[in-house]
Amino acid sequence: MLSGIGSGLNTARKRLQQLLKLVCDDRVGEVAITYPDRLTRFGTLYLEMLFTSFDVAFTVLDPTEEKTPEQELVEDLLSIIASFAGKLYGMRSHKQKELLECAENVLHSP
107 and 60 in a common domain: no
> What pLDDT is stored for residue 92 in this prediction?
65
10 and 45 assigned to the same domain = yes
CATH code (residue 44): 3.40.50.1390
Rounded to whole angstroms, the Cα distance separating 88 from 73 reads: 22
CA pair distance 75, 64, nearest whole angstrom? 13
- Residue 38 is part of which domain span? 1-64
**Tens digit of pLDDT per residue, the chain (110 long)?**
666 655 555 666 788 888 899 999 999 999 988 877 777 777 788 889 999 999 999 988 876 667 788 887 887 787 778 777 777 776 666 677 777 778 777 777 76
* Closest by CA position to 56, among listed 33, 31, 19: 31
What pTM was computed for the model?
Answer: 0.55
